[in-house]
Structures are given as structure tokens and as C-alpha cells.
Amino acid sequence: MRWLLTKDLRILGRSRLLVALLVVYPVVIALLIGLALSRGPGRPRVAVVDETPPGETVQVGTERVEVHRYVQQLFDQLDAIEVPTREQAVAKVRSGGALAAVVIPPNIVTKASSGTEQGELELIYNGDALEQSLVQSQLSSALAEANLGFSKQIQDVAAQAIDQLLKGGNLSEIGAPADLVGLEQIPALLARVIAHQRPGPDRDALQRVATFADFAAQNLTLSKRVLASVGQPIKVRSTLLHGRRTPLDTFAVVVAVSISLMFISVLLAAGAIALEREEHALHRLLRGLVRVRVLLAEKCALAGGCGFVVALAMLAGVGAFVPLRWGRFPLWLAALALGAAAFAALGVAIGVLAREVRAASLLAFLLSLPLAFLALVPRGAVARGIYDSINVISFVFPYKAALQALDAAVNGSAPAIGGSLAHLAVLALAFSVLAGAGLARSR
Amino acid sequence: MSAVLEVEGVGKRYGAVQALADVSFSTDAGEVVAVIGPNGAGKTTLLSIIAGSLAADSGDVRPAPERVGWAPQQAALYARLTVAENLELFARLERVPDPRAAVAAMLAQTELTERSGTLVGELSGGNRQRVNVALALIAQPPVLALDEPSAALDPAQRERLWRFVSGLAARGTAIVFSTHNVNEAQRYAQRAIVLADGRMLFDGTPDALLAAQPEAGADLERALVLFLEARARAAPAG
């Protein structure tokens, strides 16, 4: 095996373009995918037309809330371009200067204040089905956020008005006499008056008024909390059932590294075994000079070793920018080593099947890329039957197991690393057996 | 003289096609045997089985493949290794006691010393074939199997190759080669084995084949054609 490995490394060393491609290409692809995963979509660029009269307000109890504050809430959710007219907004959308336009009509306050109608915004957008879907989903989310913010302001004003009624004081702005007593103070005042009253119908009547005032004060206090729960009726509290939550950026690192590991190991193993056949050396080797299992082990060692070194260097390099848990380093090594072995075994099986280098490389590439994407499809993103099929495909190829093993090794996430490592070991063995059978059959 | 190569009842089938059927012969040390016949006769299959590159379905071959040097029809060489690196790799895989000395000796023997540092991919067809034969000889096997060794060579290169092969035979190496060029069999082989449709139809000297077809005169190629036609005519009746 030593001499075969030396020979392959020598050949590899003389194919500098191939080495550069094998290293640079997967690293670039992996980094692009990693970046795409770690960074959410930017705020949508939207033209906003505010047709409401300047200074327009919504009356809530004793306070008035400026409609402009709603527009500001909306602007905070978007990359907004303020335009004066609807026509200009339409032109912006048509020219591609904005993804969509939102028109806030002048009658929005009248409708919102009517108590019988909802205020209505106009959304203008363009583009293909995918773009339309993206704009709709991003704007729905932005409008929901803005609505929530505006509703919070209205709640605050309403709560303030209730507070004034409860605590009393100077309510002259709403036409009440100065130094008005608060509802909360009435039961105590009445109790003092009742104490000086003789028993009789008047005392009973005063007692009934005091009981009502106490009850009303308590219920108004409760209504402040009710207002808050109406504004945001359901609050989310998250519980992760198992493992540790993986931050998106460190998960992206794991994705990038595992993709590099896969590309290098699979492509190199497939190419190396196919090269033996293309150079007509395979039959010379297998006529007693080298055993099939030694040849396969040598190719796996070559391809897996190269993949392992590049992936480890990549992980260590990224670790300089993203905080990784270096205490788990031995687990990184285990995950990378078994991942590399499984990918290399898959590559060898591909190389045996394809027989020539170009076909082997193409087949390895065509198989690897979809496997990576399938493994990244989240549950719920597709119909259940399709997801089940994806799971079966991901189970019989090493990418998902390698991703899970590396995620568990680097981030301590679930499922536990032991299962993924065992899965990778079984896949490495299975693909090696397949490759061996293919080689034996070709003799 | 004792046989250094014995082929007994060898058969090989590819699906429905019987590539070889019950082929038996033996070769003494220093003997040069040509395997001739039409396309698809089973020549390459027979040599591959002798070399251990292909497993026979039936029959037996002695010695073991490790004791047979093999130069396949398409040179089995690594194009991105030099001549010396190719030789050294196979010397080590063949467990030759002193690989470097064996490489130097083989380079000298095949007159490739000056080309030892050249990448095989940069060699001419003739030189590639010499390296191909040199690889087969690196472990100094008692038997050498050459599959169409002169197919890609020009006349001068062919002449040089046969001079080299004849020298090996003179030193005791038994040589079995397949060829489409019947004249080579007439000039260099002591024995000719005729294969057709996987069956061995003739085993004897080229002169015996000529004698069996007197109308061919001294033309062995014509004698072979007439021989095969006569066998084909006889087959339905037989």
C-alpha cells in the first residue's frame, strides 16, 4: 500500500491544476453556501407613499396618536424609499428600483377610527412568481411588525387614560373638573363617611356605592392587562427537546466544511480508481501484485486523507473568526475521519462503476451536489412523503450523517455523535464492499 | 526439457459466448510460441488467463501469475510517472530484492537508460511498448506473455523489439505472444498455436502448418487462411 500511495501522491503532485481545482472549488462552493445560510435576507427595498395629511392623528381616550408614527414603524422594517405619489411608486416598481410599493391612503385614519372598518394599505408589486412570493412574505412580516408596534402605542395611550381614571388628579384636558378624585380612592373616602352614618337606608345606599367603586377600580386595573394581551395575545416560549441550540453561523461553518470534505474525498477517490483502469494498470495490479481490499484501502486513504487535511485546515481557519469549542477537538477529528472514510468509499464505488476518469468525476459531482442540498432541506419545507423519501436517500449516502456528526462534534448538537459515527462507519464498509464486488466482477 | 508453462483444459465464457474451450498446451524454457487466429478467436483471453489478469472458468495454468511476466496489448503504464518510476513501482510491488538495481539493469537491457527520467506520457509509441515489456520482465519471470507486442510499432521498432525478445528466449525465458501478423510467427516463433472461436485447432511448428496446406507454398498467412477455411467446411459435416 505504501508504494501505491507514494505513486498516487507523486501523480497528484504533478497535476497541480487538478489539486488546485480539488481544493479551491469545494472551498469556494462551501463558503458561498455557508454565507448564504448564515446571513438572512436583507430588508426589502420598498417605495412608500404616505397620502395621509401631515399631522393626522388617531384619537384614543384622552390622547391622540400620530399616524406618522405608524409610517415610521413601517419604515423601520423596510429599506424604504419615500415617494410623494402613487404613480412615482408604480414607476419605481416597474423600473426595478423597488421590489414593491406600499400606499397609505388618506382615509386610513377615518377607517381605523370608525370602529366598524379596518384601515387598508395598498401593496403594488411586480416580477415572477418566485419574486412575488418573496415580496408578499417579506411585506406581510414587515406590516405585521409595524401593526404590532402601532397597536402597542395605542395600548400605551389607552392604559394611561385608564390609569388617570383610577388615580384621579387634573383631568381638565378632557373637560373634567380640576383635582378629580380617582376611582381607587372612592371606597376609602366613602368608608370614612359611612363610619359617621347611623344605620339606615342612607348608610346602606352609601355602602352599595362604595362596594361598586371598589369592584370598578379592581376591574379597570385588570383591563390594563387585558389590553396588553389583546395587543399580543400569544407570546412564544421556545423549548428545544434535545441537545444544544446551534447558532446559524457555526452551523454554516459545519455545512461548509462537510461539503468540502465530501467534494474532495468523493472526487479524488472516484478519479484515482478510475485512473488505474484508464491507464490499463488495474489488471496488472490485480493479477496478484495487490489485493483488491488493499487497493481500495489505498484509494480511500489517499482521498480521505486529502479531504480530512483540507477540511481540518478549513475548520481551524474558520475557527479564527467564528467562536468554536476547541475543547471538543478530538470529536472533530473523529467526525472528520469517519466522514472522510465514508465519502472516499462512496467515491471508490463511483470510480469502479464509471470506469474512466471524466465519467467518474462527472458522476461524483452530479451525485454529491444534490445530496448536500437534500440533506439541508428542513422538515416542513416539503410535503411529508417527499421529506420521507429525502430522508431515505440521505440515509443511504454519507452526507447527512457526516453533517450531523460534524455538527455534534463542533456544536454539541443533537443527535448524539455516536450514532452518526456508527452510521458513517457502516456506510464506509458498505460502499467498500460494493466497490470490491465491482472490481472483482470486472475481472 | 521440462515445461515451464502448462495450460490444461482452460475454458472461459462471457455470457452466451464461449471465448475459450478446453485449451491445453505447454511451453519449454527458451521456447517462443505464437498464438494466431482471426479476430475474436480468444487470443487475448488466453494470454490474460495465463498472466492471471483474467480468471478462467475451468482448467488450470501453471506457474502462478506472479511467475509470468505480462505485457498487455495496451501499455499498462502511468503516464505521469517517469520510465524509472514506473519500473521501480512495479519492482517493489513484485517484491524484487533490489528494486533500484533491477530498474538500472532493465533500463540498460531495453536501451532506455537515457529516457529513464522522461514521463511515460511523453514517450513515442515504440518506447512506451519497450517500457511495457520492461515492466513485464522486471522480476525476471521464467515465462513472458506478450499480447500483440508489435501492434503499434513501425518496422524499425518492430525489428528492435523482436531482437530483444529473441535475446530473452536465448537466455531461457519462455515466450508466448499473440499476433495478427502471421509473418512474425513464421520468423520468430518455434511453435504456432491456432485459435478460432475459442478452440485450439492447431499446435505445431509454422513449417507443419505450411506442410498441411501445400497450395500456400511458403506463405504462412495464406496457409492459415486455407487451414481455417478447410476447418470451417469440415465443421458442419463433423
pLDDT per residue as tens digits for the range B134-187:
888 888 888 999 998 887 777 887 888 888 888 888 988 899 999 888 888 888
**Contact state of A284 with B72 under an 8 Å Cβ cutoff:** yes
Tell which of A16, A282, A284 to mutate to test the B interface (max B CBs under 10 Å): A284
Beta-bridge partners for B119: B82
- CA dist A434 and A428 (Å) reads 10
Element (H, E) at A388: helix A384-396
Q: Which residue in chain A has the smallest CA separation from B56?
A: A443
CA triplet A34, A35, A37: central angle to 5 degrees?
A: 65
Q: Which residues of B touch A288 (CB under 8 A)?
A: 52, 64-66
Q: How distant, in Å, are the alpha carbons of A278, A340, A386, A429, B71 from that of A399?
A: 28, 10, 18, 15, 42
Q: Which domain holds residue B44?
A: 3-237
Q: What per-residue confidence (pLDDT) applies to A293?
A: 87
SS3 state of residue A49: strand
Q: What per-residue confidence (pLDDT) applies to B238?
A: 43
Q: Check: CB of residue A34 under 8 Å from CB of residue A253.
A: yes
**For residue A77, what are the contacts with CB-CB under 8 A and spacing of at least 6?**
A43, A141, A142, A143, A145, A146
**Contact state of B72 with A14 under an 8 Å Cβ cutoff:** no
- CA dist A263 and A249 (Å) reads 21
**Contact state of B81 with A286 under an 8 Å Cβ cutoff:** no
**Contact state of A284 with B79 under an 8 Å Cβ cutoff:** no
Tell which of B44, B53, B88, B131 to mutate to test the A interface (max A CBs under 10 Å): B53
Phi, psi of B94 (to 5 degrees): -85, 0
Q: Check: CB of residue A410 under 8 Å from CB of residue A261.
A: no
Q: What per-residue confidence (pLDDT) applies to A346?
A: 94
CA triplet A209, A210, A216: central angle to 5 degrees?
A: 90
- Say what the alpha-carbon torsion angle A283, A289, A291, A295 is, to the nearest 10 degrees: -70
Phi, psi of A323 (to 5 degrees): -65, 115
Beta-bridge partners for A63: A60
Closest-CA distance, A287 to chain B, in angstroms, reads 5
- CA dist A296 and A428 (Å) reads 11
What residue type is assigned to position A115 of the chain?
G
What residue type is assigned to position B203 of the chain?
D
Cell of A386: 417527499
Number of CB pairs, chain A paired with chain B, less than 8 A apart: 59
Q: What is the DSSP string of chain B?
A: --EEEEEEEEEEEETTEEEEEEEEEEEETT-EEEEE-STTSSHHHHHHHHHTSS--SEEEEES-GGGEEEE-SS----TTSBHHHHHHHHHHHTT-SSHHHHHHHHHHHTT-GGGTTSBGGGS-HHHHHHHHHHHHHTT--SEEEEESTTTT--HHHHHHHHHHHHHHHHTT-EEEEE-S-HHHHHHH-SEEEEEETTEEEEEE-HHHHHHH-GGGTT-HHHHHHHHHHHHHHHHHH-
Question: Starting from the edge strand earliest in sequence, which strands make up the sheet with B58-62, in order?
Answer: B17-28, B3-14, B58-62
Portion of chain B with pLDDT greater than 70, in percent? 98
Q: What per-residue confidence (pLDDT) applies to A334?
A: 93
Q: What per-residue confidence (pLDDT) applies to A372?
A: 84
**Contact state of A283 with B48 under an 8 Å Cβ cutoff:** yes
Q: Check: CB of residue A316 under 8 Å from CB of residue A286.
A: no
Query: Mean per-residue pLDDT for B46-56?
Result: 89
Closest-CA distance, B75 to chain A, in angstroms, reads 7
- CA dist A261 and A20 (Å) reads 15
Q: What per-residue confidence (pLDDT) applies to B236?
A: 60
Task: Give me the residue from A3, A279, A288 closest to B52, CB to CB.
Answer: A288
- CA dist B141 and B133 (Å) reads 12
Closest-CA distance, B25 to chain A, in angstroms, reads 21
**Contact state of B81 with A7 under an 8 Å Cβ cutoff:** yes
CATH of the domain at B200: 3.40.50.300
Beta-bridge partners for B12: B20
Closest-CA distance, B94 to chain A, in angstroms, reads 6
Angle between helices A357-375 and A329-354 (to 10 degrees): 130
Task: Give me the residue from A281, A283, A287 closest to B78, CB to CB.
Answer: A281
Q: What per-residue confidence (pLDDT) applies to A250?
A: 76
**Is the pLDDT reported for residue B125 higher than 70?**
yes
Closest-CA distance, B172 to chain A, in angstroms, reads 23
**For residue B148, what are the contacts with CB-CB under 8 A and spacing of at least 6?**
B44, B73, B177, B178, B179, B180
Phi, psi of A126 (to 5 degrees): -145, -170
Residue in the structure block whose three cell numbers are 505472444: B177
- Say what the alpha-carbon torsion angle B26, B29, B32, B35 is, to the nearest 10 degrees: 20
- By a Cβ cutoff of 8 Å, what residues of chain B touch chain A? 48, 51-55, 64-66, 70, 72, 74-81, 85, 89-90, 92-94, 135
Q: Where are the domains of chain A?
A: 2-38+247-442, 45-159
Beta-bridge partners for A169: A180
- CA dist A127 and A138 (Å) reads 14
Chain centroid offset of residue A223 CA: 37
Q: What per-residue confidence (pLDDT) applies to A125?
A: 78
Closest-CA distance, A12 to chain B, in angstroms, reads 9
The domain defined by A45-159 folds into abc type-2 transporter like fold (3.40.1710)
Closest-CA distance, A307 to chain B, in angstroms, reads 22
Q: How distant, in Å, are the alpha carbons of A251, A320, B216 from that of A417?
A: 15, 24, 79
**Contact state of B80 with A284 under an 8 Å Cβ cutoff:** no
Task: Give me the residue from A7, A15, A443 closest to B89, CB to CB.
Answer: A7
Cell of A130: 418566485
Question: Alpha helix (H) ranges present in A168-280?
Answer: 186-195, 201-231, 248-278
Q: Which residue in chain A has the smallest CA separation from B70?
A: A284
Domain tally, chain B = 1
Q: What per-residue confidence (pLDDT) applies to A434?
A: 92
Closest to A251 (Cα-Cα) out of A102, A422, A404? A404
Task: Give me the residue from A10, A14, A280 closest to B74, CB to CB.
Answer: A280
Torsion sign over Cα A392, A256, A22, A358? positive
Q: Which residues of A touch B51 (CB under 8 A)?
A: 287
Q: Which residues of A touch B81 (CB under 8 A)?
A: 7, 10-11
- Walk along chain A (443 residues) and give the pLDDT tens digit of each residue: 788 888 888 888 888 887 787 777 767 776 776 676 666 566 778 888 888 877 777 666 556 667 777 777 777 777 788 888 888 888 888 888 888 888 888 887 777 666 567 777 788 877 666 667 777 777 777 777 777 777 777 777 777 778 877 887 776 655 666 777 888 888 888 888 888 888 888 888 888 888 888 888 888 877 777 776 665 555 555 555 554 555 667 787 888 889 889 988 999 999 888 888 888 888 888 887 888 889 999 999 999 999 999 888 888 877 777 777 888 888 989 999 999 999 999 999 998 888 788 888 888 888 888 888 888 887 777 778 888 888 888 898 999 999 989 988 888 776 788 889 999 999 999 999 999 888 877 66
What residue type is assigned to position A149 of the chain?
G
SS3 state of residue A82: strand
Q: Check: CB of residue A330 under 8 Å from CB of residue A417.
A: no
**Contact state of B53 with A287 under an 8 Å Cβ cutoff:** yes
Closest to B21 (Cα-Cα) out of B202, B146, B195? B195
Is ipTM > 0.90 here?
no
Task: Give me the residue from B51, B75, B79 closest to A287, CB to CB.
Answer: B51
